[in-house]
Amino acid sequence: MSYICPVCGYADLPYAPGDYHICPCCSTEFGNDDAEFTHAQLREMWVAAGARWFFGHPPAYWNPWMQLIKGGHQEVVPKFVRAITTSANYTVEPTRLARLGDGFLISVSVA
User: Which residues of the chain form contacts with other proteins (CB under 8 A)?
Assistant: 60-61, 63-66, 69-70, 74, 77-90
The CA distance from 92 to 26, in Å, is: 48
Least distance in Å: CB of 58 to other proteins?
11
Q: Which residues pair with 68 in a beta bridge?
A: none
Instruction: Name the residue nearer to other proteins (CB basis): 87 or 107.
Output: 87
Least distance in Å: CB of 35 to other proteins?
31
- Provide φ and ψ at 43, rounded to 5°: -65, -45
Instruction: Name the residue nearer to other proteins (CB basis): 30 or 47.
Output: 47
Residues 6+ apart with CB under 8 A from 73: 9, 43
Instruction: Name the residue nearer to other proteins (CB basis): 74 or 95.
Output: 74
